[in-house]
Amino acid sequence: MKQKLLKERQEKLRIEQADREARLSVLKYKSKEKLQEYGIVQSTSEPTQDTANEHINLFANLDEAVKTTNKDHDNEAKEKKEEYEKKIGYLTYLGQDTNEALGKKNWYEVAPETSRYSRSSNIKDTYDKLVLKDTDGKPKVKEPDVKDGEVNYKRKQELDPMNAFKHLHKYDKIKKYYKPPKQQINKDNDKQKKKKHKKDRKEDKEMKLQKLREARLRREQQEKYRTELFLKGLHNSNETKEVEKETRLKPKYNSQFNPELARQNYK
């Protein structure tokens, strides 16, 4: 019974191992096909050791394959790097400046665009709108300013001082005989009223100042009179004290009672 169980177990292990090896071979075949699709060359060297007891690595062929890069991507990255280094002035060849490397010119090396046809579209549109045109849509031809064989006649007449004097004289005549409308008269009356009101306010202010000045003068006179009376009273009190001092008797003894009655004080 035990031998039978042992045989069944060994048979089961053998089947599992065969199944595992079959799966491994299928996976290897598929990985080889994928490597061939990507153009990766597989290494011909195979390990001589027995792989039965080793760890199964399904990506061993990928790990051992030769690693290559995309040449187009490398060239594109290199060109971008060189372009950036040229822009910042880091990569320049011998005797070559940044503008020469980039194929550019400085602003002072380029001639200005003076023609109206080389300007921006906004300026062109503005210029076209300012140009006078006929009914047909064509630009009008400017008529020459010539009169009696004299070129720029209108311009010369504008700059002539005699014409300016005539114009002023004409304006003075119009102003002399011109009657202002009712609204202008009302404005003039309002101005006169304002001036009169301003004058009255000024007079009232002057009267108030005059009254204040008179009150101040009266106050100063009263103060002056009071000080004189006060000083006069002080002077009279000093005189009475001096008279009292002169009339007072001088006693012979310092500690004498009733000196005015003592006989020796009158000798």
Q: Per-residue confidence of the chain (267 residues) as pLDDT tens digits?
A: 778 888 888 889 989 999 989 999 998 888 888 888 777 666 555 544 555 566 787 777 666 665 667 788 888 988 888 887 777 666 666 556 666 666 777 777 777 666 555 555 666 666 666 666 766 767 666 777 777 777 777 878 788 777 777 777 676 666 655 555 666 666 667 777 777 778 888 888 889 999 999 999 999 999 999 888 888 887 776 666 666 655 566 666 666 667 666 666 666
User: Would you give the DSSP letter of residue 95?
Assistant: T
**Tokens describing residue 10:** 């060994």
Residue whose entry in the numeric block shows the structure tokens 């005797």: 95
Asked if 104 and 83 count as a contact pair (C-beta separation under 8 A), the reply is no
142 phi/psi in degrees, rounded to 5: -70, 125
The rounded distance, in Å, linking the Cα atoms of 265 and 253 is 9
Q: Which amino acid is at 98?
A: T
8 A C-beta contact, residue 99 and residue 106: yes
* CB half-sphere exposure, 32, CA atoms < 13 A: 9
Domain boundaries, the chain: 2-41+57-93
Is the separation of the CB atoms in 65 and 57 below 8 Å?
A: no
Which contacts qualify for 41-47: CB closer than 8 Å, 24 or more apart? 41/65, 41/66
Distance CA 152, CA 147 (A): 8
pLDDT number for residue 156: 80
Position 220 scores a pLDDT of 93
What is the residue-wise DSSP string for 137-193?
Answer: SPBPPPPP-EETTEETHHHHHHH-HHHHHHHHHHHHHHHHHPPP-HHHHHHHHHHHH
pLDDT at 216: 92
HSE-CB of 224 using CA atoms within 13 angstroms? 6
pLDDT at residue 153, rounded to an integer:
79
